[in-house]
Structure 1
Amino acid sequence: MEENRLTMRRARRRKRTRRIVLGFFVFFVLIGAYVVYEYTAGLRNANQNAPGMNESYGDEPFEGSESPEGKTNVLLLGIDQRGDESTRSDTIMIGQYDTDQNKLKLVSLMRDTYVNIPGYGYKKLNAAFALGGPELMRRTIQENFGVDLEYYSIIDFDGFVSIVNTIAPDGVTINVEKDMYYKDGVQTIDLKAGEQTLDGKELLGYARFRNDAYGDLKRVERQQKVLNTLKDEFVSFTGLARLPRALGAIQPYVKTNMGTPAILGFGTDFLIKTPDDIETFTIPKDVGYTNLRVPGEGAVLSHDEEKTKEALQSFLE
């Protein structure tokens, strides 16, 4: 009798175990199906509107160097692709993710920083991209600042608009510090001071605005502020649910040498252990500079090269 009861209990446990395993299997199949569907939908919608990243951006392959142990350094470039124009990088950043210390650092390199571009002499930093793509930009940063970069990622600004509208379809709330107005043949920026809820295009305009006495100085601060805000949107519950569609939506606007395993690895680490804040630094503003006018280059930011190099390396240690 006792043996029969034991046999029946074992049978019930096995049955419960099978149900649990089956439940997990069904759950992960559904999650996988959802991710594939959302990613495909985002990609399909993007391909209907995106011109694509058609330029080669320099003939030299990107010869990235391995990052310091436990850290990954990525060159981040934002561009405004306008037909067949020679493209200069409007936004130049170095992102460093330290998986051991769970730290995310972001360096903004002001585009008018006066640097020695290998093979071309002293020019504004953003000229390096137009002259030789991400590889020449990598070499310029390495030779001027002594920072090794392992990966690069180029995003067209239309991609920024697409991913913001996908992650936050109701807009992103941000405090606009003053009225901002600018108009040319391509874009119009018209924002009022105060707390505003901005869609992707408006948020891009806020991040790019520099039509005042501060120029690029305040613009890089706004870019850093926007990225910190978007980080919180990404890791929110609704942001995570929309992430697969956002990844599909941004793909046609991005060019990178990061493979899928690297992206998934860093993405998983970031979502599991999201840093509280993004530590920021700006070159050369946070070190010191002098406004200088150079024939053929116009207004540039001259700086103490050794002091700038030491400060940047110290920040990324």
Structure 2
Amino acid sequence: MNRQIHRKKKKKFKVRKVLYWIFALLIGLSGYIYYQYSQGIKQAQGKSISNETAKKEFNGSKRGNMDKVNILLLGIDTRGEEKSRTDTIMIAQYDPKKQTAKIVSLMRDIYVDIPDHKNYKLNTAYFLGGPELLRQTIEQNFGIDIHYYAVVDFKGFESVVNTLAPNGIEMNVQKRMSKNIGVVLHPGLQYLNGKELLGYARFRHDAQGDFGRVERQQEVLNALKDRILSVNGVTKLPKLVGTIMPYIDTNLEGVDRLAILKDFFLNPPGKIESLRIPVDNSYTPANYDGVGSVLDIDFDKNKHAIDEFLNGTESQTTSDK
């Protein structure tokens, strides 16, 4: 009888010991996450995205229980201006069940019908009415259903890169790049810091123009995805979040944001598939008074390409070049 009581006491002691260590581990992990997040906030102290993007109206459809989520990703360079056009316009789609991530890059000079306005370049919609008017314009012209938006100041991009990879991100620079990017890049395989990587992604003053820029932006996103999903990147995630928050405006609330992050890290995509709009042989350069140089595109052909890419049964893995 005494032995049985002794065994029960010993078992309870072991259970309590295990619970104690689990509790201690959780406390330690929580402390680490808070500390790293605080360090990120401290690193970005005094810096913030322009007030022009502060919590604007956005009437995207509710995601509900759908597997896929579509996020409008916008990159801007505020430079203290009250209003700005967006240099980068992307639709990011993530499907946790299929473990796929896709990016549709919409070129900013596409000539579109902007609701309640005249026809302009696509990026003018953001200038005229922020993320919501741009969402309406994209839905009306391309039929893409968007759930959320995220506007990121380019300074935030630099900070994230420097936090994630203090020694830089490896890129194979194909040509000399310098005009209007704030840095000088020389050809060759090299590690680029935040400012240099941003310049690499934004350069467009060559024969390829915006087409080359879109291709490099997609290349950079894949490189950053690989770094973030590495062991080193995962440990830096709380600090990365703290670093980027002052530079980002989004309607992704805390619960939705955490749910998407959880799904992304538990079901990481192998690569980010990409599509450029307009696709090959579907556009012609044009010039209109009061608008300037634009791309006149075949909307039916491009809407079909988008639908196949985002919703089709067969995976398309490369962008049109």
> Per the shorter chain, which TM-score range?
over 0.9
Poorly superposed stretches of 4+, deviation over 3 Å: none
Structure 1 residue runs of 5 or longer lacking an equivalent are: none
Structure 2 residue runs of 5 or longer lacking an equivalent are: 312-321
Check whether the contact 2:75–2:87 (CA below 8 A) recurs between aligned residues.
Answer: yes
Q: Distance in 2 between matches of 1:126 and 1:287?
A: 22
Kindly provide the CA deviation profile for residues 128-158 of structure 1, in whole angstroms up to 9, marking residues without a partner as x. Answer: 0001000000000000011111100000000
Q: Distance in 2 between matches of 1:253 and 1:225?
A: 22
Note the 1:1-317 alignment, pairs <5 A: 3-48=1-46, 50-56=47-53, 61-67=57-63, 69-183=66-180, 187-286=181-280, 288-317=282-311
Counterpart of 1:76 in structure 2: which amino acid?
L
Check whether the contact 1:145–1:313 (CA below 8 A) recurs between aligned residues.
Answer: no
State TM-score, norm by structure 2. Answer: 0.93
Indicate the larger mover: 81-90 or 242-251.
81-90
Check whether the contact 1:46–1:252 (CA below 8 A) recurs between aligned residues.
Answer: yes
Kindly provide the CA deviation profile for residues 181-218 of structure 1, in whole angstroms up to 9, marking residues without a partner as x. Answer: 214xxx52311111110111110000001011111001
Query: Which secondary structure state, in structure 1, belongs to the residue aligned with residue 179 of structure 2?
Result: strand
State TM-score, norm by structure 1. Answer: 0.94
Check whether the contact 1:39–1:245 (CA below 8 A) recurs between aligned residues.
Answer: yes
Counterpart of 1:236 in structure 2: which amino acid?
S
Counterpart of 2:4 in structure 1: which amino acid?
L
Aligned to 2:318: none
Q: Distance in 2 between matches of 1:57 and 1:128?
A: 17
Indicate the larger mover: 76-85 or 159-168.
76-85
In structure 2, do the counterparts of structure 1 residues 79 and 193 end up closer, same or farther at CA, with 3 Å as the change threshold? Answer: same
Counterpart of 1:65 in structure 2: which amino acid?
S
Residue 286 of structure 1, CA deviation: 4.4
Q: Distance in 1 between matches of 2:253 and 2:280?
A: 33
Counterpart of 1:79 in structure 2: which amino acid?
I
Q: Distance in 2 between matches of 1:97 and 1:239?
A: 19
Q: Distance in 1 between matches of 2:239 and 2:134?
A: 31
Q: Distance in 2 between matches of 1:125 and 1:82?
A: 21
Residue 176 of structure 1, CA deviation: 1.2
In structure 2, do the counterparts of structure 1 residues 56 and 240 end up closer, same or farther at CA, with 3 Å as the change threshold? Answer: closer
Check whether the contact 1:74–1:150 (CA below 8 A) recurs between aligned residues.
Answer: yes
Query: Which secondary structure state, in structure 2, belongs to the residue aligned with residue 191 of structure 1?
Result: coil
Identity %: 46
Check whether the contact 2:158–2:195 (CA below 8 A) recurs between aligned residues.
Answer: yes
Q: Distance in 1 between matches of 2:200 and 2:264?
A: 26
